[in-house]
Amino acid sequence: MFFIPDYFKIKYIGIDKLRLIKSSHHYVLIMFTLVTFISCQLSNNNNKISPPNVIFIMMDDLGYGQFGVFSDSITIADFPPFFVKLVDSLQGYSLDKSLEFSRRAMPTLKSLSENGLLFKKAYTSSSLCAPSRVGIATGRHQNKLGFYTNTDVESKGIYKGSHLVEKLKNLSYKTAHIGKWHLGRRDKTIIDTILKKHRLSNNIRWSKYRNTHPQAYNEIKNSGYIGSVIKQHNPLNNGFDYYYGYNHWASQYYNDNNVWEDFKHVGVQKEYNTDAFTDKALDFMEAQIGKKDPFYVQIHYHAVHDSIEPVAPKKYLDKFKSYSHHLNNFYAHINGVDQNVKRIVSFLKINNLYENTIIVFTSDNGAMSGGVYNGHKTGSPLPGNAPFAGHKGNYYQGGIRVPLLFHWPSGIKIQGVSESLVSTMDILPSIIDLVGGTVPENLDGRSLRPIFEQSLKETVRHNLIWAGMQSNRWGFLITKSTKQHDNEGEHAPPTWTIIEGNYLLRFTGVLEPGIYFDNMQGRKAVFELYNIKNDPGETMNILDKMPIKAMELAHAYFDKSKGFTPPQVWNKEKWLELANSKNNLLKSEWASP
């Protein structure tokens, strides 16, 4: 039945009034107008643009230089010299091959980049996975919530109602999270139940029972506790309709015990997890076909987090031939993600969903690049985070600068490479805006819609800031320390960083004596200023040459970080050193008038 407005309804008006219609063509004109109006209404309803589907893909610890599009523009000369020296002495793989493999491991994502919008100056809000993921999920700087380290997040968890996917849920999206969660507390009742069963104390860390009570230890290990999450922090209570993943920093590629489905432990996931996670995503998307509501799917892969020793499936490994198994295997794992993205793209095209689906791709932080550490794990190879210094866990650019790609054929008309300063905190606010929702106020994330619609050069912010620990434990810089991966973090100095325009200013707190080979006597707190356009490797501190610029940036940081709160777990004294760093500034010779 068609809706006909009152002003088009024909009422009985009597024979005398009908005579007012002096000729039949008046009646024909009225009927023609009515039919035309109804036809237009039907056409508008049939051609109404459907809300886009959204797929948000995130890799774990993928380095800037390991992303094929960016590695096309770097050379071996851009590799971090100390990292190259370590490779030569410890692993000895071909530098040329590492660059070649990085350039051809991701053909699907390279194609999406060429036909989408790629951000060249995208940064995460933290150099560590859990805090970074809080920033992405909430669109708020996680330091305002007291999250500086992974343990801060694991001890407190995401705040109820803060995950921005709930805004999409309110817009009738069917939502799924697949893969790494790492936003909540583990379910300790699992441990308590098992220890009580074996009449063991829960005041002792359960891992201590490994040798004394192996049966209890193995039962806990196989229970799914490590990947568990309390109900309050489960994705199903934070905006998602379906969950298949793990609440931990890693899920081993094969035979993993960390995976849960909704509120139930899966048991052992035997299959290669990159393929398995994609299978679950495709199943969810297929179930939505033919339904009126659009879907939003997060696929947050384990690849390429440590350990990368497990051998990638032959279909990926056979594409990389060098004398280094480590190099071949790493880029096979990366290619595994790319080929699964290809499966997703094929699914969308077959089901006529491709044109109206937003695909977002990024990494949670920089690469854990480096040689062997603790004698049993291998960090990811070159190019790592080239051309930038550092790696995961510290606030050189290599720890926080990542690829960020948006692709939406029917919606984003401006394509190319943008050098606007953006953050992964911008991802969900942008998606909410693009699908027609209202972006919440008081977020640190920004909608990137002005860039999509107006210009690649459009500015959404003037600067970005970070605060946390400047740790060497997650990469090649650990070899510059007297400590190892498992204990360097407790000695790592605090740091804050601000980037504005072409400049980066960093404050690094006091170095303890006897920890770092370059400063075995210890070191006072320091400020450093770099022109990151001319010196992306941060090799030339120009603070003495540009003290006014440094002061300007320092005051911008102090103003913007006023909302940062004390850490949940991280060393309070180190946090206070950051909070009181303004005193260091006032005492600095370079800052004297």
Question: Residue 5: its pLDDT value, please?
Answer: 33
Report d(CA 507, CA 524) in Å as an integer.
Answer: 11
Across 259-285, average pLDDT: 98
% residues pLDDT > 90 (the chain): 84
pLDDT digits (tens, 9 = 90+) for 340-389: 999 999 999 999 999 999 999 999 999 998 755 555 567 899 999 999 99
Question: Residue 34: its pLDDT value, please?
Answer: 45
Question: Residue 499: its pLDDT value, please?
Answer: 98
| Strand ranges in 60-197 using DSSP code E only, listed in sequence order | 117-123, 174-180
Report d(CA 120, CA 156) in Å as an integer.
Answer: 33
pLDDT value at 148 more than 50: yes
Average pLDDT, the chain: 90
pLDDT value at 49 more than 80: no
Domain regions of the chain by residue span: 6-46, 53-181+236-460, 188-227, 466-591
Lowest-pLDDT choice from 42-46, 110-114, 334-338, 398-402? 42-46
Across 390-395, average pLDDT: 96
> What does the radius of gyration of the chain's CA atoms come to, in whole angstroms?
28
Q: What is the pTM of this model?
A: 0.91
The class level of CATH for 53-181+236-460 reads alpha beta
115: its two tokens: 């036909």
Q: H/E/C letters for each residue in 434-449?
A: HCCCCCCCCCCCCCCH
List the one residue out of 580, 587, 62 whose CA is nearest residue 334: 62
Residues 6+ apart with CB under 8 A from 396: 388, 389, 390, 538
At position 333, the amino acid (one-letter code) is H
Report d(CA 443, CA 448) in Å as an integer.
Answer: 13
At position 388, the amino acid (one-letter code) is F
**224 within 8 A of 256, measured Cβ to Cβ:** no
pLDDT value at 39 more than 80: no
Question: Residue 41: its pLDDT value, please?
Answer: 44
Question: Residue 47: its pLDDT value, please?
Answer: 41
List the one residue out of 203, 175, 173 whose CA is nearest residue 188: 203
pLDDT value at 549 more than 80: yes
pLDDT value at 33 more than 90: no
The CATH number given to 466-591 is 3.30.1120.10
Report d(CA 438, CA 52) in Å as an integer.
Answer: 16
List the one residue out of 420, 457, 463 whose CA is nearest residue 122: 420
Across 307-329, average pLDDT: 93
Instruction: State the pLDDT confidence band at 46, using cuts at 50, 70 and 90.
Output: very low
Question: Residue 22: its pLDDT value, please?
Answer: 40
Question: Residue 86: its pLDDT value, please?
Answer: 85
Q: What share of the chain is helix, strand, coil (3-state, %, to 5)?
A: 40, 15, 45
At position 73, the amino acid (one-letter code) is S
